[in-house]
Homo-oligomer: A and B are copies of this chain.
């Protein structure tokens, strides 16, 4: 199987678009629509937060009830979370309006929101904007859709790959946070593959686990996070079944798209100046490796040291130590960008701190931690914690 990266994003049988309907006061795009021309199987993964937007509840219900769906409607500028019964109605109304415009059933429509929490959802702009948006959907409209779901993100995030007549492409927005909401991670992926609903979900779970589920910007999970994938079957293949070679190939393609999107989120993290891979090997289990990697990636002390371009392994080994995984401290190895700093729990002799400091000026950094207890490994991806993170998140914008 040959995976080809496409520069422009379009997926056979899908049309998309975005517009500024007026939810955002600054006139920036805030309404996105992605439509499959034919019924598509669909799968989704959602935030684990117990406080959720009705968009999460409704989309979950539709995915469960419907054999296939046709569209994703999404807005930015208002998360429609903690908005009480009127928020529930607004969410339903947004679905009804979209279904009407597209001439499909309500269950055919999945819905997502991102933006301010706890502010009544303004339905009027959506009602006014939808007919225009629905009338202007085009095959290469994904970029416009990507733009319309941004909040504090600086750039649009898209990815597309192709293999043997199958296209997998998608858009995302980051986990950047701005007042008075906790903004959201949204990702919408389309493919022309033919694959059943259960198998699609299985593929998404694997792809998500090693991509979106391995990134960390600030450790918080939002009320609105969701990842949706639609498969419209227009590639004309026999339905792909779990366990087959065709399934493996699709998982690889979907993972590649999710990885690209997830990495773009980290790189566009609020105030981020570094993309940092935290690799852990030699763990007894993958779960333990992951736990150690996450503890290091989520440490404010490690993240500020990275911003300071400081090869501060003391903070790393301390985070390893409190990860809650049984350790042998005297076996721990740590390397920065391939240069060993710690061997068997103690600093490597004769290190040139100046040389290390220079290495750390790179935008892409890699921390490798060896536990030397087993054969399992895991990687997570994070960014540094900068003045701008504090500025963006401390700004008073009500």
Q: Write the residues of chain A forming the contact surface with B, with a CB cutoff of 8 angstroms.
A: 48-52, 79, 81-84, 116-119, 177, 179-182, 218-223, 299-301, 304-305, 307-315, 317-322, 326-327, 329, 332, 342, 344-347, 353, 357, 385-387, 389-391, 393-398
Q: How far is the CA of A84 from the CA of B332 in the complex (A)?
A: 12
Instruction: Decide if B394 touches A345 in the complex (CB within 8 Å).
Output: no
In the bound complex, residues from chain B placing their C-beta under 8 Å from that of A357 are 396, 398
Instruction: Decide if A52 touches B329 in the complex (CB within 8 Å).
Output: yes
Instruction: Decide if B219 touches A304 in the complex (CB within 8 Å).
Output: no
Known contacts A50-B321, A51-B317; is-contact A394 B305 (Cβ 8 Å): yes
* A–B complex contacts, Cβ < 8 Å, 24 sampled: A51-B318, A79-B314, A118-B342, A179-B312, A180-B311, A180-B312, A180-B313, A180-B315, A181-B314, A182-B301, A182-B315, A219-B300, A221-B321, A222-B318, A300-B389, A300-B393, A304-B390, A307-B390, A308-B393, A308-B396, A310-B394, A386-B390, A387-B391, A390-B390
Known contacts A318-B222, A320-B51; is-contact A390 B393 (Cβ 8 Å): no
The 6 closest A-B pairs by CB, nearest first: A308-B394, A117-B314, A51-B321, A304-B393, A84-B346, A49-B321
Q: How far is the CA of A181 from the CA of B118 in the complex (A)?
A: 41
Q: How far is the CA of A319 from the CA of B301 in the complex (A)?
A: 20
Instruction: Decide if A180 touches B309 in the complex (CB within 8 Å).
Output: no
Known contacts A82-B342, A304-B393, A307-B390; is-contact A318 B118 (Cβ 8 Å): no
- Given contact pairs A182-B315, A304-B390, A308-B393, enumerate 10 new A-B contacts (beta carbons under 8 Å): A51-B327, A82-B317, A82-B346, A118-B313, A118-B317, A220-B319, A223-B318, A307-B394, A309-B396, A387-B390
In the bound complex, residues from chain B placing their C-beta under 8 Å from that of A385 are 300, 390
Q: How far is the CA of A167 from the CA of B385 in the complex (A)?
A: 44
